[in-house]
């Protein structure tokens, strides 16, 4: 930045409302003001020994930057405080340096050693800020230092620092693209990060640096899908857009059967098709049969990973962030089966009503969707009615949507709306409405005459622009059935005296020339008038006058021969070379001479050939090949940096690439071996098969009651509740020696006695919940990242403590990886309440289910028992609150005893 520009920025920068600025005009006396010294007090405060003054100065400086003021001249004074001991001052200094490090590179480089020390600071905010400043210094000489800092930050304990490392990657890549290979290694490492804070940032870095390296996503695909719900909103947008492109390369088209049937099974004949081509028809029929057979033979089965993506993004349609809703909408539009795409319609309509600032983008996308998926927006037709307060661009887009949604059933309602819109004062909007009426008339033949008559009535409108637009649209509609509407052509011929808009005049002249046989008396007179005003007409009108003269010369040369020669002579000397060339070409074609070529024989066929009626199409017709919501879709042109939406693969790629390998424990101590043995018990893993918990529990209860040795044995899977509870309570049992173990066994045998005191001999660890028992959700599978936990009050005695309620918990691992060390921690209870924890579940394999029982003494209250449910990697806060009925103890009474109690 030059000194003069810095001076101007400083003196005349934008200011907050109500704050006067001086020095804009030299005549105002600003040059003689002391304004150039206004930062001296801040410099003095920054040089002082008091941290409070430094902090106050930095707050004022950062506030200046936030208001858009130029504070670059304070850089030397600020950068001196980069080594300040006060943590608050240091944070604000780093905020300032991030803003000005690129502009003041030389001074920033002098402090680079301080930034490097900041990377080792105990405070995570300082480490992250130091990395942010370092990556903001755009000097190639420090690239190796930046690379080293990013690598170290990528392994930092703090997820916030790792997130900052991900942000620094694109900065370094733009500074030195040769570092790409090393940066990809860092991206690969960060992609494996399991924290939601890092996920969005590293995917953004991936998109900037190596979007083609789709192989880096394979192992992390399922994790990203599961984390998506908890990532911050802008991270969600980035991840969803990336996963949309990923899914288009890895999964099959869910609408493959429908598209095949549409290609081969279209009942309509092609435009150029002939009734005589019987052989071709037979071939087409055979193709239809083949395609139908193929569809029946190979029904599409959606890949579970494809379903996972759709299932995990669907809840985000309720997001408060409009960008997230739009991202999910485009994902569903590009990836979901046709039957499921409808869910996005309600979300987009809600967005349209609640977020006026995003209406334009939402309507752009809805306009594209309504072409391919019209049915899903039909129930919300009234949401697209136009309000008088809408800006013109919103009105035009709503018109587009309404036109796309028009069909035989709702066209009368839509045309009544259009009738109102034509009375608007907004002329651009009125013109767009007339075009919309024309499109409705083209697409729906039942209302063509009604629309045409309505447009003819508009020809008497006072506004010239309305008339002109009507003429253009009528011209297109008349091409479909000109013989029926010669009266309208005559009426339009009379308008040539009044209409001055060039496009409308040209349209009328084209119509008269094209259908001159329908108005043989009027056409020559129109040409006479046009020849008279030829030199004053616009170029587009002149070209149509020449065409009209040529057509009339070929059909009615007696009346128009001299007029045609006059027009061609005028055109011969016109300033526009297009008009001169057209005149020369037509003269040689229609006036045969010795020099004329063979083409002159075919003049009539050339000029008077039947023209196909124009097809009025939506400007959004072919936009869906751009990814919805992207800048390229908005502009309808490929923008810089746009990544094409890949085509669906013909054959499904190998789905096993997304499987994550579970590391095997090669070194296993005796304690771990014992743990594995316990895992093999049917109690822990659902190895009984699909028979359900009731059946297995019954069989185990039989074995438990039948043999005392079986219930006492540690190796059997039907150990009593007392044994298992004791195992759970003595968490350090595995580390004890053999003597202590024997003592434990004796204790367990003694504790068996209270169990047999109860009437039910069934072990409580595998209580079979009856159909009457209600299950409650403790942890949802999305919140639990694949782990789902349900609990029920088993209404069975809890053997270790008769005052406790037995709560049976069912753990289901829906994730793709195993869950280990399932246990409870950090139990928080109200006074008087007690909890007996369930035994730790060492291993819960993917897809398996396990049950456990815990005891809770609610102390005759309905207060919740709060605790943490922990795995080897995660902690989830959960709580169990009892219904009042579950706190009652069942008592068996005879009829006499009951009557006695009742009498009291």
pLDDT digits (tens, 9 = 90+) for 141-156: 888 888 999 999 999 9
Boundary of a domain, candidates 245, 268, 303: 245
* Mean pLDDT computed over every residue of the chain: 76
Residue in the block written with tokens 């456990």: 852
Whether residue 251 contacts residue 306, with contact meaning beta carbons closer than 8 Å, is answered with yes
Coil vs helix vs strand at 453: helix
Percent pLDDT > 70 in the chain is 77
Residues 853, 856, 861, 866, Cα dihedral to 10°: -90
Boundary of a domain, candidates 220, 245, 270: 245
The full 3-state SS of 357-423, as one line of letters, equals HHHHHHHHHHHHHHHHCHHHHHHHHHHHCCCCCCCHHHHHHHHHHHHHHCCCCCHHHHHHHHHHHCC
Residue 238 lies in a domain: yes
Quick: pLDDT tens for 746-771: 544 444 444 333 333 333 344 444 45
Number of domains in the chain: 2
Residue 821 lies in a domain: yes
Q: Ranked by mean pLDDT, which of 275-279, 464-468, 536-540, 555-559 comes out on top?
A: 536-540
Nearest to 28 by CA among 12, 39, 16, 40: 12
**What are the tokens at 668?**
């296993």
Q: What confidence score (pLDDT) does residue 38 get?
A: 60
Domain CATH for 46? 1.25.10.10
- Residue 290 banded pLDDT, cuts 50, 70, 90: low
Residue 850 lies in a domain: yes
Q: What confidence score (pLDDT) does residue 283 get?
A: 57
Residue 793 lies in a domain: yes
The whole domain housing 822 covers 775-880
Residue 21 lies in a domain: no
Measured distance CA(449)–CA(282) in Å, rounded: 37
Q: How far does the chain reach from its first CA to its final CA, in angstroms?
A: 96
Distance of CA 653 to the CA centre of its chain: 24
Q: Do the strands 805-813 and 849-857 form a parallel or antiparallel pair, or are they unpaired?
A: antiparallel
Residue 791 lies in a domain: yes
Residue 369 lies in a domain: no
Q: What confidence score (pLDDT) does residue 879 get?
A: 87
Residue 231 lies in a domain: yes
- Residue 798 phi/psi, 5° resolution? -95, 110
Nearest to 130 by CA among 114, 143, 144: 114
Measured distance CA(25)–CA(29) in Å, rounded: 8
- Residue 284 banded pLDDT, cuts 50, 70, 90: low
Domain CATH for 799? 2.60.40.1230
* Residue 405 reports pLDDT greater than 60: yes
Quick: pLDDT tens for 690-738: 333 433 334 444 433 443 433 333 333 333 343 343 444 444 444 444 4
Boundary of a domain, candidates 230, 245, 260: 245
Q: Report the pLDDT averaged over residues 384-403.
A: 88
Whether residue 568 contacts residue 531, with contact meaning beta carbons closer than 8 Å, is answered with no
- Residue 780 banded pLDDT, cuts 50, 70, 90: confident
Q: Report the pLDDT averaged over residues 43-66.
A: 84
Q: Ranked by mean pLDDT, which of 83-87, 236-240, 794-798 comes out on top?
A: 236-240
37 DSSP 8-state letter? G
Write the CA distances from 332 to 310, 335, 852, integer angstroms. 7, 5, 40
DSSP per residue over 122-141, as a string?
A: SSHHHHHHHHHHHHH---GG
Q: What confidence score (pLDDT) does residue 637 get?
A: 78
Distance of CA 736 to the CA centre of its chain: 55
Q: H-type helices in 713-844, by residue range?
A: 721-729, 738-757
């Amino acid at each position: 930045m030059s000194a003069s520009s810095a001076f101007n920025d400083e003196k005349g920068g934008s200011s907050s409302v109500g704050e006067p600025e001086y020095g804009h005009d030299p005549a105002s006396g600003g040059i003689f003001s002391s304004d150039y010294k206004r930062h001296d007090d801040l410099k003095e405060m920054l040089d002082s020994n008091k941290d409070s003054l430094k902090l106050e100065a930095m707050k004022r400086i950062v506030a200046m930057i936030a208001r858009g003021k130029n504070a670059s001249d304070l850089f030397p004074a600020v950068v001196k405080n980069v080594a300040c001991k006060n943590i608050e001052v240091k944070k604000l200094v780093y905020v300032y340096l991030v803003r000005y490090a690129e502009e003041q590179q030389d001074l920033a480089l002098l402090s680079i050693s301080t930034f490097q020390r900041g990377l080792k600071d105990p405070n995570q905010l300082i480490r992250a800020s130091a990395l942010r400043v370092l990556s903001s210094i755009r000097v190639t000489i420090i690239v190796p230092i930046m690379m080293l800092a990013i690598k170290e930050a990528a392994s930092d304990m703090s997820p916030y620092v790792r997130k900052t490392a991900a942000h620094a990657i694109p900065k370094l890549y733009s500074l030195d693209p040769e570092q790409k290979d090393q940066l990809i290694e860092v991206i690969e490492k960060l992609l494996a990060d399991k924290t939601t804070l890092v996920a969005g940032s590293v995917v953004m870095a991936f998109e900037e640096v190596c979007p083609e390296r789709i192989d880096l996503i394979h192992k992390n695909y399922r994790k990203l899908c599961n984390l998506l719900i908890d990532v911050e909103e802008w991270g969600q947008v980035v991840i969803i857009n990336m996963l949309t492109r990923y899914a288009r390369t890895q999964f099959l088209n869910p609408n493959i059967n429908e598209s095949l049937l549409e290609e081969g099974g279209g009942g309509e004949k092609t435009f150029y098709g002939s009734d005589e081509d019987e052989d071709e028809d037979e071939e087409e029929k055979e193709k239809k049969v083949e395609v139908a057979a193929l569809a029946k033979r190979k029904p599409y089965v959606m890949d579970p990973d494809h379903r996972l993506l759709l299932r995990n993004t669907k809840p985000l349609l309720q997001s408060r962030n409009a960008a997230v809703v739009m991202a999910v909408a485009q994902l569903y539009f590009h990836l979901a089966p046709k039957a499921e795409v409808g869910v996005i319609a309600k979300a987009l309509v809600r967005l349209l009503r609640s977020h006026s600032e995003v209406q334009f983008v939402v309507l752009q996308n809805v306009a594209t969707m309504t072409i391919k998926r019209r049915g899903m927006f039909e129930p919300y037709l009234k949401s697209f009615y136009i309000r008088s307060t809408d800006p013109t661009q919103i009105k035009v887009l709503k018109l587009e949507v309404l036109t796309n949604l028009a069909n035989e059933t709702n066209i009368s309602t839509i045309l009544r709306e259009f009738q109102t819109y034509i009375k608007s004062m907004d002329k651009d909007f009125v013109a767009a409405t007339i075009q919309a009426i024309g499109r409705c008339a083209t697409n729906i033949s039942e209302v063509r005459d009604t629309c045409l008559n309505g447009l003819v009535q508009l020809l008497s409108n006072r506004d010239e622009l309305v008339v002109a637009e009507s003429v253009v649209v009528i011209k297109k509609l008349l091409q479909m059935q000109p013989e029926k509407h010669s009266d309208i052509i005559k009426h339009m011929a009379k308008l040539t005296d009044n209409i001055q808009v060039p496009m409308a005049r040209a349209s009328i002249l084209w119509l008269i020339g094209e259908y001159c046989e329908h108005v043989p008396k009027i056409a020559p007179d129109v040409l006479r008038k046009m020849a008279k005003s030829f030199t004053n007409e616009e170029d587009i009108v002149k070209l149509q006058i020449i065409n009209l003269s040529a057509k009339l010369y070929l059909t009615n040369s007696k009346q128009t021969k001299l007029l045609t020669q006059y027009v061609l002579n005028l055109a011969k000397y016109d300033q526009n070379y297009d008009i001169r060339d057209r005149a020369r070409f037509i003269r040689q074609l229609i006036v045969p001479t010795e020099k004329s070529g063979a083409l002159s024989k075919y003049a009539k066929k050339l000029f008077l050939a039947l023209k196909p009626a124009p097809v009025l199409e939506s400007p959004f017709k072919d936009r869906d090949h751009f990814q919805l919501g992207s800048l390229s879709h908005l502009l309808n042109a490929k923008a810089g940096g746009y990544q094409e939406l890949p085509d669906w693969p013909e054959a499904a790629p190998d789905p096993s690439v997304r499987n994550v390998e579970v590391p095997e424990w090669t070194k296993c101590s005796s304690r771990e071996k014992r743990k594995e043995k316990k895992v093999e018990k049917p109690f822990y893993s659902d190895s009984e098969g699909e028979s359900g918990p009731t059946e297995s529990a019954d069989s185990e209860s039989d074995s438990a009651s039948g043999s005392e040795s079986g219930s006492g044995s540690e190796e059997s899977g039907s150990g009593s509740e007392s044994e298992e509870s004791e195992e759970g309570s003595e968490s350090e049992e595995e580390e004890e020696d053999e003597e202590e173990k024997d003592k434990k066994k004796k204790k367990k045998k003694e504790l068996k006695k209270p169990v047999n005191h109860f009437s039910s001999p069934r072990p409580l660890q595998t209580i079979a919940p009856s159909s009457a028992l209600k299950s409650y959700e403790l942890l949802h599978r999305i919140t639990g990242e694949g782990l789902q936990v349900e609990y029920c009050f088993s209404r069975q005695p809890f053997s270790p403590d008769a005052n406790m309620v037995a709560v049976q918990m069912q753990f289901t691992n829906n994730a793709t990886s195993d869950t280990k060390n399932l246990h409870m921690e950090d139990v928080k209870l109200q006074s008087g309440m007690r909890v007996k924890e369930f035994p730790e579940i060492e291993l819960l394999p993917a897809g398996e289910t396990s049950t456990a029982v815990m005891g809770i003494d609610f102390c005759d209250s309905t207060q919740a028992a709060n605790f943490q449910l922990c795995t080897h990697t995660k902690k989830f806060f959960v709580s169990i609150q009892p219904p009042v009925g579950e706190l009652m103890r069942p008592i068996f009474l005879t009829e006499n005893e009951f009557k006695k109690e009742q009498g009291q």
